[in-house]
Each structure stands twice: as C-alpha cells, then as structure tokens.
Structure 1
C-alpha cells in the first residue's frame, strides 16, 4: 500500500471516528446540561464530566485537517487567522483534556478513599474548589499554547521557507530555538506530570477496590454469585479508561515531540497522531455512558417515548 492510499485510509478512519465520538460526547454534554437545569447544585463528578465532554466536542470541531475546504474558505477571515484560531483552540482543548481527566481521576480516588486516609480529608476542600481548579487549568493551557498564535501560518503562504506543515492547511513558521525549547519543556512537563498523577490515582483506586472485594468475599464466603461483583466491574472500568488514556497520550506526546524537535512532517504519521489523540475523546463518553446508570435510563425512556409516538 503506497503513501497516498494509506493517507486516504487514515483520513476516512478519522471521519468515522469523529462521527462516533462527536455524537457520543454531544449526548453526554446535553445529558449533564439537563441535569444541571434540574438541580440547583450539580455534583462535582457531573461538572467535571460535562467539562470533559465539552472539551472533546471542541477537539473534534476544531480539527483543521478534516474540516471541509469550502467551510474554511467561506469564513470571512484571512487564512492565517483561521489557522491560528482553530489550531490554537484545538491545542488548548488537547491540554484541557489531559488536565480534566487527571482532575476526574483524583476526584474519584478521593471519593472512594476511606475516611481515615488523608486523601479523604482533602475531599471536602477539593470538592468546593472544582470550579477554581477548572479556571486554573484554562489559564494554564491558554498560556502554554500561546506560541501557536505567534508562529502558525496558512500552508498556502509560500512567502516563507522552512515551514513545518502541521496539517493540510496550517504550518508552523521557524521559531527561535530558545523559545521553542521553553514552550516544549513546559508543555512536556505538564503532560508527563498530569499523566503520571492520573496513572497513580488509577492504581490507587484499583488497590482500594481489590481490598474491598477481598473483605466482601471474606464476610460473604458462603456462596458467591458467579456474576462479576460491582467492585470488579468498577475496577475493570477504571483500568480500561486510565490505561487507554495513558497509552494514547503517551504515543501522542512522543509523536508531537519528535515532529517539533526534528522539524519534520509526514502526512501518514500526522494522521496516525490525529487518530491517536482523538481515540480517547471517542472512547471516554462510552465509558461514562456505560458506567452512569442515569444516562442509560434516560436513553431507555427516550426510546420508549419514541416507540409510543410511532405506534400512536
């Protein structure tokens, strides 16, 4: 299979991925918005999940390389401004996805932590400052991605040389090695720190759940149900989500770092990176839908209402 056919296969795969991921995240987003309208004080978990779904929707909508060319050309702005704004928003959303997933993982760990543990004592302060933490994450990522606004240009701008093509429509102009090193160091430090915290909190939750399962088996050692216990299901869900998150973002960090440092562009590798970085955004809402009984009940109610309307 040659490079062009591989590129087209990857491009079609992303369109399919975007359709599924966008639909699932919009479903989660609307569900949480309706929940907020029904309750005066939303739960911290719902607030974080809603924020994560909103971020992933924007990630798909600002993927410049897959937007229809007619749509980009119809926007009443210069090509450079279109690239700067869309590419900047996409990079900010990528960083916020890492931050929010870390926040969700730490919140879940503090929720199931025993009362005599320090993490459980930290839960009250942590819960009351969720909005402040989210605002801090926005400020951090808006700042770390600010170099995109300065050095992003339209790929059609042939007046500059030595451009690093990041998408079909947008490129990075050469930047000072010191500036590039500073932003690279800050970004990679943020990514490794947050991915590491997410991995540690996931491992902590798995250990707690296994301990709880062992105690339950000891207390109810008479006849255990052949079905998987709720603790085991929760453990499997956490392992799936955290492991998938760590693997996908680790691959993304490696690809994006090597492309920036070596100043090399490969359309096939770029599309592999797009698939990888959006894989978590596609899987995460389905894990949330599967683990949140309220969403399943809402979907069943909607299905029954639709069936009644069709039969009447």
Structure 2
C-alpha cells in the first residue's frame, strides 16, 4: 500500500470513526433526555433526527469506502450495492432537508408573534414536527429511487462511461441523458432546500441582531428568550457549516457531470467533503447545546462514581 492510499484510508477511517462516535453520543443523550423529561422540544427532535441521518450516511458510505481503500474489495453484490447506495442517498437527502427544516422551525420559533395566524402556527409547531418528518421521508424515498436502480457491483477494473465510480460499487446510468437528468434532479432539490435554509438563517441573524440591541438597552432578557436565541445561534452555525461543505461538494459534482467518466480520486474527494458535515455537526451540537452537554457530563460523573464505589477499600 503506497503512501497516498494510506493517507486516504486513515483520513476516511478517522472521519467515519469520529462521526459515528459523535452522532451516537448525540442520539444517546437525546434518548436519555426524552426518557427523563418524557418530552423533547421541536428543535431537539429535529437535531436528534439529523444525528440519525448523519449516522446513516457514515455507516453506508464512510465505512464501506474505508474498507475498500484498505483492500477489502468485492464487499457487496448487486443487491447489496442497491441497498447501500439507496440508504446512503436517503441519509444524505434527509440531512439537507432536516437542516433546512431546523432553520425554518427555529426562525418561526423566535419570530415576533405578529398576527393571529403566526401565533396559531407557533403554538402548533410541536404538532407539526412528526408530519413534517413523515413527509420528508416519503419525498426522499421516492426521489432517491433512481440511483439504486443503476447500482451494480464492480466486476473488473473496467468502468463503463457515464458511471459514478464509488470503488466498492458502481452507479452506471448507461447514457448521457440519464446521467445528467439524475444529477440535475438531485442538484435542483439540494439547491432549493439550501435556498430556504439560507433565507431562514438570514432572518434568524436579523432577529439575533435586534435581540442583541434590546439586551444592551434593557440589560436583561427573559430566560426563555435567551434559551431560544442560543438555540438560534446553533442553528445558524449548522447552516453555515452545511453550506460550506455543500458548496465544495457541488463544485466537484458539477465537474463530474461534465465528464463521461470521472476519476476515482475525484469521487473520493466528493465523498470526503460530503461526509464532513455528518462528522463535524454532532460535535457542534454537543459544544453549543446545553442539554446535550449537561447530559454527557452527568453520564461521565455517574460512571466515575460507579468506578470509585467498585474499587476495594485498601485502608
């Protein structure tokens, strides 16, 4: 194994390992919060769902990619490729949709209650979360059907034209029209959701600026409003993080649409930058979300207390 392959393999291994650890930690923290409080706020439910979609991405793309780089070829047959590619596409699609949903819901949460319609909508936000989840799952399960239909296991070193070479699997679209139409449909969906999340985040930033001016003049803010504003800042940071990696991802993706057969190293770069959001976002949640941080500190303290009680008394 040459140095380049080793560096690439270690990079994917670290990315997948850290991302899986971070997202599992977020999910466990929210599971405990839901058990203790028997209720999660709408934004917390979306964050937990986002951590699940990120975990799905890393398990179905980062892990197989890492195994392939380290020489474990022929991992999947045709059916296995279809299942893995479908799960990955679904997880990736849910990630962008949930980030968009998160920014939109948070913008509604902190928006001034002007008018009876907005007041009613804000009071029903917690009831709208589950229908929104169901709608996003159904939408993306239908949109993501195309790529798995074209997914096959690699049979030899030859890669046909108009094929996405993922290493452990191939997505062979057969002709230029299918190749471009699939890419355009995916990009259109992604850009639409990114536009909504950027608009929502821009509105959140405006409200945060107004809130900051009010706090400086009043010198004190209500606790509930302060908590909402902290959550809003977390949402904006997640949107900025996603948009940054989304931009890199789509520059590479547009390049791949312009060539009949993209090099494997380009596909690897796209996978790496696409998965960066799934890896870094849980650590952003942990560092900025007080509930998750307190739950993890509490769990660490409980574990330390159990370990100390299990030690024999040497006096």
Aligned CA RMSD, in angstroms, stands at 2.8
The aligned runs of 1:76-91 (5 Å cut-off) are 79-91=77-89
The aligned runs of 1:133-282 (5 Å cut-off) are 133-156=132-155, 161-162=160-161, 164-220=163-219, 237-282=234-279
- Residue 32 of structure 1 corresponds to 30
CA distance in structure 1 between the partners assigned to 2:44 and 2:53 by the alignment: 14
**2:134 is the alignment partner of 1:113:** no
For structure 2, the residue ranges without an aligned partner over 5 or more in a row are 221-225, 310-315
CA distance in structure 1 between the partners assigned to 2:87 and 2:231 by the alignment: 34
Could you tell me how far 1:72 is from its partner in structure 2? 7.7
- 13, 16, 20: which one pairs with 2:14? 16
Closer/same/farther in 2, CA of residues 178 and 310 from structure 1, 3 Å limit: same
Could you tell me how far 1:214 is from its partner in structure 2? 0.8
Instruction: Please state whether the residue corresponding to 1:264 is helix, strand or coil.
Output: coil
Count of matched residue positions in the alignment of Structure 1 and Structure 2: 299
Could you tell me how far 1:247 is from its partner in structure 2? 1.3
- 1:210/1:231 contact within 8 Å kept: no
Note the alpha carbon deviations across 1:183-237, whole angstroms, 9 max, x for none.
333221110010111111111111101111112212239xxxxxxx989966764
Could you tell me how far 1:161 is from its partner in structure 2? 3.8
CA distance in structure 2 between the partners assigned to 1:119 and 1:192 by the alignment: 27
**2:288 is the alignment partner of 1:291:** yes
- 2:12/2:65 contact within 8 Å kept: no
Could you tell me the TM-score, scaled by structure 2's length? 0.84
Deviates more, 1:105-114 or 1:297-306: 297-306
Could you tell me how far 1:174 is from its partner in structure 2? 3.6
